[in-house]
Amino acid sequence: MTAIDVFNGDADGICALLQLRQNKSGSGQNNQLVTGIKRDIQLLKQVSAQDGDYVTVLDISLDKNRDDLQRILNHGAQVFYSDHHFYGAMPEHPNLTTCINTDSDICTSLLINQYLDNSHYLWAVTGAFGDNLNHSALILATQHQLSSIQFEQLKQLGILINYNGYGADIHDLHFHPADLFKQLLPYNNPFNFINDSQSVFQKLKNGYDEDNKNISNLSSEYQTDKVALFILPDAPWARRISGIFSNELVNRYPDRAHAVVTYNKQGGYLISVRAPLNNKTGADDLCRQFETGGGRKAAAGINHLPTEQLDMFIKQFSQQFTNN
Ligand SMILES: [Mn+2]
């Protein structure tokens, strides 16, 4: 039997898997890992599973992996699938167990926290911060009486792990998400990772601080009181910081929708869209109108927008959130 862990390379995917693999200490630590940059969500394509294999899938849209999920199930593997992205029609199969909820205040780390009955809630708080679900993270942190200092530390860690997932390809990243997961796995308590001078925490933080300095002078390309669009330069630092930059904009201007545009390898644009924090809806509807678009109600994206379609995108973006 082979056990395969398939997870999104962002904080939510990593923190969901950490909870599962720390739950039974020693078991599952040698599972095959399948992950990638945050935007690499068609991960089940890479999985070949046989009868008796066990596949865990975390934080990637079932809808975007439907055919490969069906193939894996048909080969006789057992699949546990937990996620909060759009899933469309739910496949029915005796080997499939799901833990899916697309509520905009839920992320995969929080679903796994419920599934494991709060046994590793510190990682769930971290993952929720990583997905910019600050309110949900705060509720969980309050339930467990975390101090405001602990709360800020987990927030910073969530942001840093999430930051590590952004880039056009794996070479833009400071750490391969599978390596970052392995670095984190020995720490049952995230505070020990943060405070361990031998851990990679400081390297992540330095990278983040360096990239963050570069965006302080950036101004918007298009802006109304309902929407704002920013175009970042064609550089690795810009591709890494783009997602965190979007989250910061959303938090700072909660009534406005945001689009952050970066350049992709195909010579087009990669667009990240965030619905207003105070009305977390419509980002997925907007992005799905474009061929390579998808995501959640609150946060969605387009992997490849040909440059000549940018004006059209701005028009639809503005329409979507002006009458929202
Ligand atoms: Mn997520």
Q: What is the pLDDT of residues 43-57, one digit of tens each?
A: 999 999 999 999 999
Q: What is the pLDDT of residue 26?
A: 65
CATH class name, domain 3-206: alpha beta
Distance (angstroms) between ligand 1 centre and the Cα of 308 equals 31
Cβ atoms < 10 Å from Cβ of 97? 12
**Radius of gyration of the chain from Cα atoms?**
19
Q: What is the pLDDT of residues 102-126, one digit of tens each?
A: 999 999 999 999 999 999 999 999 9
Secondary structure (DSSP) of 204-234: HHHHHHHHHHHTTT---SEE-SSEEEEE--S
Q: How far is the CA of 108 from the centre of ligand 1 (A)?
A: 6
pLDDT in tens, 113-161: 999 999 999 999 999 999 999 999 999 999 999 999 999 999 999 999 9
Query: In the predicted model, what is the mean pLDDT of the chain?
Result: 95
- 84 C-alpha to center of ligand 1: Å? 7
Evaluate if residue 236 carries a pLDDT over 80: yes
Tell me what pLDDT residue 39 has: 87
Q: Which residues are within 8 A (CB) of 37 and not within 5 positions of it... i.e. 6 or more apart?
A: 9, 165, 166, 167, 168, 169, 170, 172, 173, 177
CATH topology for 222-322? Diaminopimelate Epimerase; Chain A, domain 1 (3.10.310)
| Token pair belonging to 178 | 């599978």
DSSP state of 36: -
Would you say residue 21 has pLDDT above 70? yes
**174-195 mean pLDDT:** 97
Residue 324 binned pLDDT confidence (cut-offs 50, 70, 90): low
Under DSSP, is residue 89 helix (H, G, I), strand (E, B) or coil? coil
Q: Residue 56 C-alpha to ligand 1 middle, in angstroms?
A: 15
- The residue extents of the domains of the chain are 3-206, 222-322
What is the secondary structure of 92-150 as a DSSP string?
--TTEEEEE---TT--HHHHHHHHTTTTTHHHHHHHHHHTT-HHHHHHHHHHTT--HHH
CA 7 to centroid of ligand 1, rounded, Å = 10
Ligand 1 mean position to 132 CA, how many Å?
Answer: 9
| pLDDT above 90 (res 290) | yes
Distance 202 CA to ligand 1 centre (A): 24
* 7 in Cβ contact with 55 (< 8 Å): no
Q: Taking 90 as the threshold, does the pLDDT of residue 40 lie above it?
A: yes
Please compute the mean of the pLDDT values over residues 231-242 and round it to a whole number: 93
- What percent of the chain clears pLDDT 90, i.e. is strictly above it? 89
Question: How far does the centroid of ligand 1 lie from the alpha carbon of residue 36, in Å?
Answer: 14
The tens digit of pLDDT for each residue in 72-103 reads 999 999 999 999 998 999 999 999 999 999 99
Say what the pLDDT of residue 193 is.
98
Q: What is the distance between the alpha carbons of residues 87 and 314, in angstroms, rounded to a whole number?
A: 27
Does this model's pTM top 0.75? My answer is: yes
Q: List the strands of the sheet with 3-7, edge to edge.
A: 32-34, 3-7, 54-58, 78-83, 96-100
Decide if pLDDT at 165 tops 70.
yes
pLDDT value of position 265: 85
- Of 7 and 218, the structure prediction assigns the larger pLDDT to 7
CA of 2 to the centre of ligand 1 (A): 25
Identify the H or E element spanning 319: helix 310-322
Give me ligand 1 centre to Cα 102, in Å.
10
* Cα–Cα dist 120/144, whole Å: 11
Q: Average pLDDT in the 44-71 region?
A: 97
Helix (H) and strand (E) counts for the chain? 12, 11
C-alpha 226 – ligand 1 centre gap (Å): 25
Q: How far is the CA of 232 from the centre of ligand 1 (A)?
A: 23
Mean pLDDT of 238-258: 92
Q: How far is the CA of 299 from the centre of ligand 1 (A)?
A: 10
CB 236 within 8 A of CB 167: yes
The contacts of residue 87 (CB under 8 Å, 6+ apart) are: 61, 62, 63, 100, 102
